[in-house]
Amino acid sequence: MTLVPTASQTAGPYFHLGLTAKYSVCNVGGPKAKGERLRILFRVLDGNSQPVPDAMIEIWQANADGKYKHPDDPQDKMEDPEFFGFGRLATDQNGICIFETIKPGCVPANNELAVQASHLNVSIFGRGILKRLATRVYFAGDLANDADPVLALVPDERRYTLFAQRVPEGECHWVLDLHLSGKDETVFFDV
């Protein structure tokens, strides 16, 4: 008997069906969570700038004081019991999902001499994506962005792909398009 390798399978819709219908988390902080409340709209787009209607986005972030809700965060700061730190949503037919959260505080860099600007850690899962796509979302206009050591690793001409833009009116405060490929492809990190 001869064994012939077969093509690898792409991730199917099981994560979307099994992880978003029952386990969606759009509100990352309760109504009494400390910090500046905000709504951020993500739109996932393919290489042709068409919406991806069956992606899933997870976000993980620090609280308003810059502390992650995780036992490995060694900072001597109080946790906010109203802050959950994690969200997960499926995109709709327009490739959109909206999270309600608070603006995260700055967190120490690995060397503890620098500080990372306010950011959200983002993972994108979807059809044809075998390994999650990891990126960050920074807030355009934040003065701490200039000194962020992770953002400094990204070439100047590509940084715009990581900046959520403030929206003065409407139901959302911030908007970011996540391009999976193409000329405006979002910067993804190899983690």
Domain ranges of the chain: 32-134+164-191
Residue range 61-73: mean pLDDT, rounded: 84
In sequence order, the 6+-apart residues with CB closer than 8 A to the CB of 108 are 66, 75, 114, 115, 116
Structure confidence by residue, pLDDT tens digits, 19-43: 666 667 888 888 899 999 999 999 9
Give me the DSSP letters along 108-126.
E-TTSSSEEPSEEEEEEE-
Q: How far apart are CA 187 and CA 82, in angstroms?
A: 31
| Other beta carbons less than 10 A from residue 190's beta carbon | 5
Taking domain 32-134+164-191, whether its CATH number is 2.40.50.100 is answered by no
User: Is the pLDDT at 113 greater than 80, yes or no?
Assistant: no
What are the CA-CA distances from residue 144 to residues 100, 106, 114, 168, 174 (Å)?
22, 8, 10, 21, 17
CA atoms within 13 A on the CB side of 103: 15
- Spatial separation of the C-alpha atoms in residues 79 and 100, rounded to whole Å: 19
Q: Distance (Å, rounded) from C-alpha 56 to C-alpha 163? A: 20
The pTM for the full model equals 0.86
Interval 61-74 mean pLDDT: 83
